[in-house]
Structure 1
C-alpha cells in the first residue's frame, strides 16, 4: 500500500502547511523562557501526531551537530533526521516526513538506503531536504572542509541516489566527487523516480541547483513584496530547465485568542528573554557563510532571529495568522514551514483555529 505524499502534487491545489525544526531543542527560537521546546522524544512524537491529525502536510527537521553557545547552547540537542523520520513514520498516517541531510557528511549510497527505508515504513511519505552546509565550525568536527563548488557535489550525490533506484543492475559512476563501481541500493524508494526533494538555497548557484533537481525550494524574506521577487527569480530559473518547482517560505507563530495576548507573549519570549550570545553568534555565522537572508535582515530584524531564526513573524489571533498566511498564498508561495515556542502546547490551538479558517478561504484543498 502506497499513500499519496501530500508534498508530491502541487497541481492539486491548496497552500501546504508544515512544522519546522521540532527535532532540535528550542526549535527556531533563541529564547531562555522555561517553556521553550526541549525536543524530548515523547513530545516530538506527540507534536507530530497532532500535526498529522490536524491536517498539516509535512514535518521538516533541521540538521544540526553542535550548538550556538550562550547560556542555552541552543540546538546542540537535536535528533538525527533519518532515524527520527523512521520513528515518526511508524506512528503517523498521512503527513509527509522529511529528512535533512548535509551532503558532504553522508555517502549517497548510505543516504539512498536510509531514505528508501523511511519511504517503505511510511508507505510513500518520505521527503529529502538536501543541504550543502554553511557553518565551518560544525564541519570541523568531522574533519570535513566545505568545497567551493558545493552544488556540483550535491548534483552528483543526488544523481547517485536516483540512478541506483532506477536501474535493475549495478551501476558505475565516475564523477568529480564520487567514483563508484557496481553500486546498488535495494529496495528502491516507493516514490518514483525518487522521494520528494527540497532545498533551501538563497544564492544563485543553490537556486539553480534546486531549479534543476528539486521539487521545492524554501526561501526567507523580510516582507511580502520582496518575497514576490524571490518567487519570480526562482520560477524563472526553473523555466530555463523546463521545470516548475514549488516555492515555500518559513514563519514563526504566536497564535492566541486576542491580539494583545499574542503580542505580549511575543515580546516576552523574543525581547525580554533571549540568549544574546547565542543569537549573536548565529547571526554572524549566517551572515559570513550562509547568505541565507537579505543583507538588511541582519541589520533590521534582530527580533526575528531571536524569535524564529530570521523567519517571518505570524503573531496574533487565528484570524490574523490565517490572513497573513493567505497573503503568502496570494503572493505565489505554495506553502510555509512553521515553528512555535512549544510545538506540543501550541499546535492544537493552531490546528483547531487557523487551519479551518484557511480551508474556509479555499486555501486548504489538500487537507
Structure 2
C-alpha cells in the first residue's frame, strides 16, 4: 500500500491523502491482512509550488500514527538517506517500532530530486557517490540500532562520538526496502535490504522472470543472502477489461497532469530532452498512470491471472497503488483476494 496517490492526473477520483482517508485505508488494509503500508516521501513538489505532489506527511510521524490505530500490518517509512541523519532515524524508527509492537520498517531512498537537496542546504553528489554515502549511512544506523552502550564511529562521512540511541527497539533490525535500479543501486539493495523493488523494461512475464533472477543471483553471489523481489503495480479494476482500459485512458491521457510529469521526468532523467518523442511519451504515460509502476488493468479475473503470472515469474510481493485507494481496495477485497486465496497465492486474513 502506498499512503499517498502516485498518479499524476487531474481526475476527481485522485486520492487526496488527507488523514481521515489515510486512517480509514490503514484500518481496512489491516483488517484484510494486507502485509504492509508503505509511505511516500516528498519534501518538495513537482510541477511548481503548492502542487499536490508535495502534500505528503513526514513519514516517521505518519508511521507512529498508523501504528497506533492498527494491529498487525507492517508500517514502512520512506525517507531520503542523504538528507536525514542516521541518529535521528534510529530514534524515530525505534519509536515507531515500540508503538507498533515490532512492526516498523523503512524504505531507503538515496535521494535524487535537486530541489529537496537545496531545501536542506545539502550538495547533491553524483549517482554512485550517493550510494557510497548510503553504505556509510547504513554502517552508522546499524550500530545505533544494535548497540546497548555508547560507541565511536568514524568513516568517510560520519564522525560519531559516544553514540547511542534510546529507547531501545523491539526488533533486532527493521525490515528494509529499496528500489535501486542501476547496477550500483542493485548492489546496495542486495547488500542491505530484505526487499528489492524492480521495474522490468518489459511487462511480459518471461522478461519479469529474467529480471527477478538477476536480482536474486546478485544477492546470493555477492552477499550470500536471499532477498525478496517486489514490484510496484497500479491497479485499475472494473467489471470488464474494456471498462478498465477506458477508465485508465480517461485519467492518464484525457486528464493527465502533463506539467507535473514533465517536471518529474526532467529532474529524474538526465538525458530526457534528447530522448525520441515516442520514448518520452511512453515514459510520461507510465508516470501519469502510477509513477512508473507495473500495470494491472482489467477485470478481477484479469488482475488475479496477471498476479498469478507474476508469482510464477518469481515476484514475492506487490506494492499496490490506485487512483481511488478506498474504492480500489474494496474491489480488490471483494473480487480479487478470494481468487488469490483459492489459487494458494495468499492466506485468508483470519489465518
TM-score of the superposition, structure 2-length normalised? 0.92
The CA distance in 1 between the partners of 2:147 and 2:50, in whole Å, is: 47
The CA distance in 1 between the partners of 2:301 and 2:223, in whole Å, is: 39
Range with bigger deviation, 236-245 or 138-147: 138-147
What root-mean-square deviation, in Å, do the aligned CA atoms of Structure 1 and Structure 2 show?
1.9
Q: How far apart are residue 298 of structure 1 and its match?
A: 4.6
Q: What stretches of structure 1 of length at least 5 have no aligned partner? A: 1-18, 291-295
Alignment counterpart, residue 158 of structure 2, candidates 172, 178, 185: 178
Shift of the 253–70 alpha-carbon distance from structure 1 to 2, 3 Å rule, reads farther
The CA distance in 2 between the partners of 1:134 and 1:159, in whole Å, is: 21
- Partners of 2:197 and 2:229 within 8 A in 1: yes
Alignment counterpart, residue 195 of structure 2, candidates 197, 201, 216: 216
Select the structure with the greater relative contact order (CA < 8 A; seq sep ≥ 6): 1
- Partners of 1:70 and 1:275 within 8 A in 2: no
- Partners of 1:54 and 1:352 within 8 A in 2: no
Task: Confirm whether residue 229 of structure 1 aligns to residue 207 of structure 2.
Answer: no
SS at structure 2 position matched to 1:187: coil
Alignment counterpart, residue 138 of structure 1, candidates 116, 130, 145: 116
Give runs of aligned pairs for residues 1-367 of structure 1, distance below 5 A: 19-20=1-2, 22-23=3-4, 27-69=5-47, 73-148=51-126, 149-192=129-172, 194-221=173-200, 222-223=202-203, 224-239=205-220, 240-288=222-270, 298=280, 300-365=282-347, 367=349
SS at structure 1 position matched to 2:105: strand
Shift of the 299–263 alpha-carbon distance from structure 1 to 2, 3 Å rule, reads closer
The CA distance in 2 between the partners of 1:117 and 1:333, in whole Å, is: 31
Q: How far apart are residue 299 of structure 1 and its match?
A: 5.2
- Partners of 2:60 and 2:92 within 8 A in 1: yes
Shift of the 172–197 alpha-carbon distance from structure 1 to 2, 3 Å rule, reads same
- Partners of 1:135 and 1:285 within 8 A in 2: yes
Q: Which has the higher helix share?
A: 2
